[in-house]
């Protein structure tokens, strides 16, 4: 059974700081790994999706890496802004499009 | 393009009452998912439909939860009777096909007293 863990559970940083969010998964037989953002009272917004054959994906100030052999993914946010404050969730996908989510990292970027 | 729509957005009921949630997926999306997200946890898949057939309902508490997707479009999720531990956000998602990216709705926040 796939288990996904995210560390830290919560993080508070000053504006402008670069930060890394961590995601680990127990079963390396994944199809892809996806990072989502969740704002209070809203649904999930997909940020980045890394296929199992890829090592990283980039979108603007976001960079996600994947190391299947060690069961780890990281989300790097450069030059953080208050608007980045949200909960970040990673999800590992096996065949059949079943997503197994982590518990999330709650990020607060302060002025 | 309109996103996934869900209603109601909030619902407060007493334990042992029944409740129903509605989801309208993105037009043309064949696959529909219902997730339960308990406070402080990640979403957990309850049921997955491919058109109007069930693909995966292994984590659906079938003694109290039921879901249907008539005509392969809209879907309803019902809880009867509700328990305190059912308090959660219920998220609906849809995807174009079986292995395509999932798009999530805003969720329905349920509080069972």
B7-40, pLDDT tens digit by residue?
999 999 999 999 999 999 999 999 999 999 999 8
pLDDT-derived band of residue B1, with 50, 70 and 90 as boundaries?
A: low
pLDDT of residue A41: 78
Q: Check pLDDT > 80 for residue A95.
A: no
How far does CA B52 lie from the centroid of its chain? 14
Q: Kindly state whether B42 is in contact with chain A, defined as any CB-CB distance less than 8 angstroms.
A: yes
Rounded CA gap, B68 and A42, in Å?
A: 24
Q: Write out residues 92-111 of B within 8 Å (CB-CB) of A.
A: 93, 95, 98-107, 109
Average pLDDT, chain A: 93
- Distance between A36 CA and the closest CA of chain B, angstroms: 10
Q: Check pLDDT > 90 for residue A54.
A: yes
Using an 8 Å CB-CB cutoff, list chain B residues near A103: 40-42
pLDDT of residue A85: 97
Smallest CA-to-CA distance from B24 within B56, B55, B2, B45 is with B2
Cβ neighbours for A22, distance < 8 A, ≥ 6 positions apart: A6, A7, A8, A72, A73, A74, A105
B43-99, pLDDT tens digit by residue?
999 999 999 899 999 999 999 999 999 888 999 999 999 999 999 999 999 999 877
A21-42, pLDDT tens digit by residue?
999 999 989 989 999 999 987 8
């Amino acid at each position: 059974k796939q288990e996904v863990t995210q560390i830290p559970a919560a993080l508070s940083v000053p504006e402008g700081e670069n930060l890394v969010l961590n995601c680990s998964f127990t079963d390396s037989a994944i199809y892809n790994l996806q990072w989502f953002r969740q704002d209070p009272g809203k649904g999930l917004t997909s940020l980045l999706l890394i296929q199992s054959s890829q090592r990283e994906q980039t979108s603007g100030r976001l960079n996600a890496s994947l190391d299947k052999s060690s069961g780890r993914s990281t989300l790097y946010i450069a030059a953080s802004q208050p608007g980045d404050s949200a909960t970040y969730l990673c999800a590992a996908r096996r065949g059949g499009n079943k997503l197994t989510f982590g518990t999330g990292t709650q990020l607060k970027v302060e002025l | 393009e309109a996103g996934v729509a869900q209603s109601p957005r909030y619902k407060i009921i007493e334990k042992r009452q029944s409740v129903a949630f509605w989801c309208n997926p993105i037009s043309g999306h064949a696959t529909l998912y219902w997730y339960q997200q308990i406070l402080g946890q990640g979403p957990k898949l309850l049921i997955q439909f491919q058109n109007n057939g069930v693909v995966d309902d292994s984590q659906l508490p079938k003694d109290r939860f039921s879901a249907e997707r008539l005509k392969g479009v809209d879907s309803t999720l019902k809880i009867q009777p509700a328990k305190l531990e059912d308090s959660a956000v219920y998220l609906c998602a849809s995807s174009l096909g079986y292995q395509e990216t999932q798009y999530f709705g805003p969720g329905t926040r349920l509080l069972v007293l």
